[in-house]
Amino acid sequence: MPPVISSLSKHQEKQLMSLFGHVRLHLLYKATIHGFTAAAFHGHCDRQGPTVIVAYNAAGFVFGAYTSKDYTQSGAAVIDGEAFLYSINDGRKEPLRVGGISGQHAFTDEGSGPNYGALVFLHEDKSAVQSNPGSCFNFKPEEMHGTDLKLTEFEVYRVEGLFFKSPIRYIFMMCRKKQQLMKSIQNYQPEIQTVNQACVLLVGPVGAGKSSFFNSINSAFRGNMTCQAITGTAGTSVTTQYRAYTIKAGRRGGNLPLVLCDTMGLEENPESGLNIDDVVSIFKGHMVDRYQVFKYMRALDSPGYKKHVNLSDRIHCLAYVIDSCKVALLSQKMVDKFSAIRKKANQLGIPQVLLMTKVDEACPLVAKDISNVYHSVYIQKKARQLSESLGIPLSYVMPVKNYSEELELDQNTDILLFMALEQMLNYADSYFENQIVEDRPENSRPELYRSSDHPRQFLTERDDPKIV
C-alpha cells in the first residue's frame, strides 16, 4: 500500500489550522488509498474523538466539517455546539466558517457516509457530496464548494490538542506536570552506587546559551531569578573557566543529584575558544572546578589538572547547545568541530542530546505562547536540520527557552527546562548501565543499584517544591 500522505498544501493547512486553537492534525483516512466508501470511513474514523473532514474538488475548493464528538454508528442525531462547516479557496483571504443552526443537531451518526444534513459526504458510497443548505447548517453553495459536488479526494484527520477547554483546568494540569518533573529530578539516583551525581557537560558556540541554561535551571528550582553563571553578548566567550555547577532544591534545600558543567564556547578559529583536547580532558574527568582553560595550561602538569580520576569525575551525558535562530548560519568549520567532539564522545560511550535554545526568538508563534513549541512547523524544521547536519537522532533534540530578560518565572518555560533535564538524566543512566566493570577484586567494583535492594525515596508533602 502506498504511503498515506496529506493532500493539503502548506497554505491550505495554515488556513485550516487557523480555524482551531493550539492543535495538531493526525491523518486517519484517505479515500484514494482506503476507498470512497462509508465502510472504509467508519473503519478508520470511528471512536477517534474530535475529527475534521477535508474534501477536495476540481473547482479548487477544500471544504468539510468539524465535530468534537465520536462517530459510533449509533443512528442518533448528535448535538454538538462546537461543530462547524468550513471552506477554503484561493479566491478568499480567510476561510469560510459556518456554525450550526440554533436548535438543530450537528450530524446523524449512522452507518452511511458522514451526514451533516447540509453536506452528506461519500453519498451512496461514491466520490461525491450531497448538498442541502438549510438542513442543520446554512450556506451559499457557490461559497462552500463552487457547486462542484464531485470529489477528487476525501480525508479525515483526528484533531489533537483540544483537551483543555477550561483555562483553570489547563493551569492545574500544568502545575501538576511541573511538580511531577521536579520530583522525578530530585529523586533521581545514579545506577552506580559509588556515584552520587550525574555530570552533564554543556558544549556549544559562543552566545548559544550554555551559561544561561544553568541560570534558568537554577532559577526554576530556587523559585526566583538567579545569575550565578556569568553571561553576556560579547563576540568571544565570556566563560573562561571550566565550571561544575551544583543546583539547590529551593533557597536552603539540598543539592540535586546533578551537576551541570560549563566551559568556553566553541569558535570557528582552531586557535580560539574551546579546544577539542580540552573537551576530551573534561570527558575523562581531568579538569577540576574553576580550571582556567587557556592554551598554555593544557599540559598534564598544569595546576588544577586532576591526574587520578574515578567514575564520578567523568562526564555522563553531553548536551550540545545551539541557538535556534542561527541553525542556518552554522559554518562548515563549526559543524566539523561538533563532528570531532561527537566522535570523541562516541569513543568514550557518552550519550549525547541537543538543546535548541531561544525558540521564542526564532518563531513568532512560540514567542506568543511558549506552549506552542511542539506545534511550530518552523521549530520542527530547524530540529530536523540540526539532526541531519550533526548526526543527532531527532528524538534527542529538545527545544528550550532560557530566562534572559524576565523578572518572574513562567510555568511553561520551567516545564520545557525540566523535561530537557529529565531526559539528560535518563541518558546518563544509559551511560552507567553500559559501564564495563574491569577484572578486579569483587569488593572494589562499583555496585549497581537494584530496585529491590535500594528503593528510591520519594518526597513527602513537606519536601514538595512550591508551585510558581
Q: Quote the Cα angle for 453-456-462, to 5°.
A: 145
pTM summary value: 0.59
The closest alpha carbon to 448, from 192, 189, 188, belongs to: 192
Enumerate residues 6+ apart whose C-beta is below 8 A from 450: none
Q: Quote the Cα angle for 393-396-400, to 5°.
A: 135
Report how far apart the first and last C-alpha atoms of the chain are (Å, whole number). 50
Laid out side by side, the sheet with 397-399 consists of 291-292, 241-248, 255-262, 198-203, 317-323, 352-357, 397-399
The alpha-carbon radius of gyration of the chain (Å, integer) is 28
pLDDT for 456: 37
Interatomic CA distance for residues 91 and 449, integer angstroms: 65
pLDDT for 356: 95
Phi/psi for 10 (5° steps) reads -60, -40
Interatomic CA distance for residues 36 and 132, integer angstroms: 20
Phi/psi for 111 (5° steps) reads -80, 0
What 3-state DSSP class applies to 182?
A: helix
Please report, as a single letter, which amino acid is at residue 250: G
Mean pLDDT by 10 residues, the chain (468 residues): 80 91 86 95 92 97 96 95 94 93 95 96 96 96 96 94 50 79 91 90 92 92 80 54 86 87 84 80 85 53 75 94 92 92 94 95 88 81 91 91 90 92 92 65 46 37 38
Domain range summary for the chain, segments of one domain joined by +: 10-160, 167-437+444-463
Q: Where are the alpha helices (DSSP H) in 21-140?
A: 31-34, 38-45
Tell me which CATH homologous superfamily contains domain 167-437+444-463.
P-loop containing nucleotide triphosphate hydrolases (3.40.50.300)
Cell of 405: 530578560
pLDDT for 239: 57
Return the number of other C-beta atoms located less than 10 Å from residue 375's C-beta: 19
